[in-house]
Structures are given as structure tokens and as C-alpha cells.
Amino acid sequence: MKKLIYALLFVSCSFSMSAQTAAELKKEQAPKKAQIAKLKGEVAILQAKIDALPGWRVGAFGTIGGSLSGFKNWYSRTAPNAGAGNIGITINGFANLIKETFFWKNSGTVNLGWVKLDDKSVDGDAGFETATDVFTISSLYGKRINKKWAASALIEYRTSLIDNFNDPGYLDFGGGFTWTPINKLVVVVHPGNYNFVFSKGETVFESSLGAKVVADYATKIKKLSVKSNLSIYQSYKSNDLSNWALTNALGYTLFKKIGLGFELGLRQNKQEALNNALMTDTNAVFKTVANKLQSYWLLGMSYAF
């Protein structure tokens, strides 16, 4: 009986000491957490001052997504012996020179994707085909009028890399003004812009004079990287020659520089819609073609460079 009482007393004392120790540790931990929070705030302020200093800012992040599968004697399929694959890669990068009297902002986006469905019973059906093929680079120079406004000139080029390189290719060159309300946002308004369209042979593509509006936003919030770009061209000659494109990219770091990435692209271009319609209907014209919304998306692993 005495042994039982001693054992209960020991357990009770151990529990009391453990609880007391945990309470003391938590009490000691509280001011340290407050110090850490204060230091994080100070670091954020210092980082903002660093970001505002003149000099180069360079960065990039990308996403890789893919899947492979194979079937052998899988009789529930129409093609019981087949292989399938889907591979995509996207890279978003920038190199910006910031000075007190001017800025020079450069950016580039590459998004490539391939798909494959290899039916073993069909000869010559084993290769990957292009699914997504987007390449965009831009260079913006601005001479500051004040802290938020600048007289600017922009060059932007858009095309595909794998299939039909520069067919079509779009080169915008123009001037106007740029608004930078914050370091992370750039809004370009160029009422004088010429949209050069390159294509091979006799096509529907046509160059024209118009207005260019670009909004670009890039930031990093803790582990989340965000890049969004909206590019609009409004032709003065005809609305049929106008176009717009929007890309949104997200990257979330899970371990060191590796994480999850997502990119969504949207655009409308009536010249491309008509060119595609003429492949099946030689009588198609701008008035009859449907300018449908074009889109692509990619989800996969990301890497922050």
C-alpha cells in the first residue's frame, strides 16, 4: 500500500513539475516572440529602403509540370496499348535598372508545352506535339518627370518559338508616358505606337498605328511570388487589328527554392482567329469569324532562380 501511495505521489509531483516548467518556458518565450516580431518589422523597413535604392534588380522564377503514363493490353481503352505524356515549362524573368532620373525595365516570358498520345497500333504516332508556345520580351525606358510619372519608350515583341517562329510575330514600338505609383506596379500609356506584324506569304496579318497600354505587377510576399502582365493594343485603323494578352504567374516556395507554380494566360486576337478559320473555310472574313478567347494554364513544380 505504501508503495502505491509513493508511486501516486511521484506521478503527481512529476506532473506538477512538468506543468510548472511548461508555464515558465511559455512565460520566457513570450517576450522573445515579441522581439522577433519587432525585428521582422525592422527588417521589412530596411528591405523597402534597399529596394528603393538606385541600381539593378534581377530575378526569375519558373514552373515545370508533367505527367507520363502507359497502357498495355488495357482492353477498356479504345487503344489498349498506348502511352501518353504531358510536359510544360514556363520561365518569368526581369532585369531592371533604377536610377533617380531614369529607369530601364526589361522582362521576358517563355511558356512551352508538349503533349503525346502514342497508339502502338498506329505507325508514326510516337512523338510529342506542341501544345503551348509563347515567347514575349519587352524593354521600357523612362525619363522621370517626377517620382510617379516619366516620359517613356517601349519595345515589345511576341511570337512562338517551336512552331511558326515569327509567323506571326508582333513588334510594338512607341512612346508616351509611364506611371509608377509604387515600385511593384508599372502602367504604360503610349498613344503613339506602331504594331508591326510579321508573317510569311499572303496572309491576313496587317501592321497598323494605334495606342498601347501595358500594366505590369510583380511582388514577393514571404514565400509567394506573383507576376501579372496585361498588354493591350488598340489599332486606330480598325478594331479587327487590335489585340490583348494577360498572363498571371504564381510561385509558392515549399523547401528552399523549390515549390508549386501556376500560370494562366488569356488573349484575344482577331487576326489570328481569321487566319485559323481560313484553314477550313476559304471564304472566312473578319465579319464572320468568331474572335474566341484563347487560354492556357500550367500547374506543376516551381523553382525560384
* DSSP at 241: G
In this structure, are residues 27 and 270 in contact, taking their beta carbons and an 8 Å threshold?
Answer: no
Task: State the Cα–Cα distance between residues 122 and 235, nearest whole angstrom.
Answer: 47
In this structure, are residues 227 and 215 in contact, taking their beta carbons and an 8 Å threshold?
Answer: no
Task: State the Cα–Cα distance between residues 197 and 207, nearest whole angstrom.
Answer: 5
pLDDT band, residue 11 (cuts 50/70/90)? very low
- Whether pLDDT at 258 is above 50: yes
Q: What does the pLDDT average to over 9-21?
A: 54
pLDDT tens across 259-272, in order?
888 889 999 999 99
CA nearest neighbour of 151 among 101, 108, 77, 224: 101
**Beta-strand runs (E) in 222-293:** 224-235, 243-255, 258-269
For residue 83, report the phi and psi dihedrals to the nearest 5 degrees.
Answer: -130, 145
pLDDT at 221: 86
Cell digits of residue 36: 522577433
Task: State the Cα–Cα distance between residues 65 and 249, nearest whole angstrom.
Answer: 14
CA nearest neighbour of 157 among 187, 196, 113, 205: 196
What DSSP letter does each residue of 152-167 carry, written as one string? Answer: EEEEEEEE-SSSSTTT
Cell digits of residue 178: 509611364
pTM for the predicted model, two decimal places:
0.76
Residue spans per domain, the chain? 23-53, 56-304
Q: What is the largest CA-CA distance in the chain?
A: 105
In this structure, are residues 304 and 260 in contact, taking their beta carbons and an 8 Å threshold?
Answer: no
In this structure, are residues 200 and 167 in contact, taking their beta carbons and an 8 Å threshold?
Answer: yes
What 3-state class would DSSP assign to 202? coil
pLDDT tens across 211-249, in order?
999 999 988 888 888 889 999 999 999 999 999 999 998
Task: State the Cα–Cα distance between residues 51 and 41, nearest whole angstrom.
Answer: 15
Supply the CATH classification number for the domain 56-304.
2.40.230
CA nearest neighbour of 114 among 166, 71, 68: 68
Query: What's the mean per-residue pLDDT of the chain?
Result: 84
pLDDT at 122: 67
How distant, in Å, are the alpha carbons of 119, 120, 134, 186, 215 from that of 86?
15, 17, 17, 35, 31
